[in-house]
Amino acid sequence: MNNNHEETLENLYNLILNPATREWERSLLLATKKAIEDGANFEDQLSKLEADLRPLALRNNLTADVTDFYNKITGNAAANTQFDFTKHSTDELAYQDSAIFAGGCFWCMVEPFETLDGIVSVLSGYTGGHIDCPTYDQVSGQYTGHVEAVEIIFDTRIIQYEDLVELYWQLTDPTDEFGQFQDRGNQYRPIIFVRNERQRQIAEKSKQCLVESGKYKHPIVTLIEPASVFWPAENYHQQFYKKNRKRYKRIERSRQQFLAFQRLQGKFRTEVKRFTKKP
């Protein structure tokens, strides 16, 4: 470990004050901070803290900000890359727009959009709830009414809102109102959040086309709701597909296998209907 003494103490102090930090995490951080301030060896104390946090870090069970700190003191630079929030804004209003989609875990909703031409920025966050500044633990505990979602800023000279809606349907299961894939709970509900009447009309028309396509055995339950405040998620969750590639690939593979099977079923149903249609 090679960590800056003053910066690390400041990080410890901020995490101790952070309301999202769990009490058992806070107790470890407090003990480490006190020991360092009392003259204990800096590197020894960080090594001890790392060892105490490691079992839960390996199971991805630390709170997001503590996870960032853990990655920092262990030298995991890729996982601790800071998201540049200054780039996530509609600076060119004449030809930039934004869209918000909820479709299960936001970890798997970023890469498909971010890698498209014309995308300026994709931000993971929380929306649709009833408190300000929600944390990941609060949303996961279903205490706030928020869903995990992504906010996408795009260049309308290159890509249109209709294109994003079309991709959204390909990434989600629109028949599952209780979550998405392996992610269960209200925070994973599929919802299209529309910013204005134009987006609403596009989303409604697209949804109706999907209903009429006959691709799905069960009803389309994806909601279309007015956009509300979008709260950015903690840094750990931003661009997760880059920071934790192996874990992301495992989750994404599971989603893709389900969607491929669902599409195959839909194709079979439409073919059967076509050949059994009465003259």
CATH number of the domain at 199, please. 3.30.1060.10
The answer as to whether 27 is a domain residue is yes
The answer as to whether 257 is a domain residue is no
DSSP one-letter code for 186: G
Share of the chain above pLDDT 70, in %: 92
Give the relative orientation of helices 42-58 and 23-37 as an angle to the nearest 10 degrees.
170
> Is there a single domain that holds both residue 66 and residue 108?
no
CB-CB contact of 158 with 190 (8 Å):
no
> Is there a single domain that holds both residue 187 and residue 110?
yes
Given a cut of 70, whether residue 79 has pLDDT beyond it is no
> Is there a single domain that holds both residue 66 and residue 152?
no
> Is there a single domain that holds both residue 50 and residue 176?
no
Q: Which domain holds residue 105?
A: 85-241
* More reliable by pLDDT, 114 or 270: 114
Given a cut of 90, whether residue 24 has pLDDT beyond it is yes
Instruction: Please tell me the total count of domains within the chain.
Output: 2
- pLDDT single digits (tens) 208-253: 999 998 888 899 999 999 999 999 998 889 998 988 887 788 888 8
CB-CB contact of 196 with 97 (8 Å):
no
Which pLDDT value is given to residue 274?
Answer: 56
The answer as to whether 260 is a domain residue is no
Which pLDDT value is given to residue 120?
Answer: 94
> Is there a single domain that holds both residue 112 and residue 10?
no
CB-CB contact of 190 with 175 (8 Å):
no
The answer as to whether 252 is a domain residue is no
C-alpha distances out from residue 145 to 63, 140, 197, Å: 19, 10, 24
> What is the spatial order of strands in the sheet that 119-127 belongs to?
223-226, 191-194, 96-102, 147-155, 119-127, 230-232
> Is there a single domain that holds both residue 102 and residue 182?
yes
Last residue of a domain, one of 45, 73, 101: 73
- pLDDT single digits (tens) 127-179: 999 999 999 889 988 999 999 999 999 999 999 999 999 999 999 999 998 98
The answer as to whether 53 is a domain residue is yes
The answer as to whether 256 is a domain residue is no
Which pLDDT value is given to residue 151?
Answer: 98
> Is there a single domain that holds both residue 125 and residue 197?
yes
Which pLDDT value is given to residue 247?
Answer: 76
Exposed (0-12), middle (13-18) or buried (19+): which is 185, by Cβ within 10 Å? middle
* More reliable by pLDDT, 89 or 221: 221
The verdict on whether 209 is a catalytic residue reads no
> Is there a single domain that holds both residue 171 and residue 117?
yes
Among 105, 108, 133, 209, the one annotated catalytic: 105
CB-CB contact of 270 with 193 (8 Å):
no
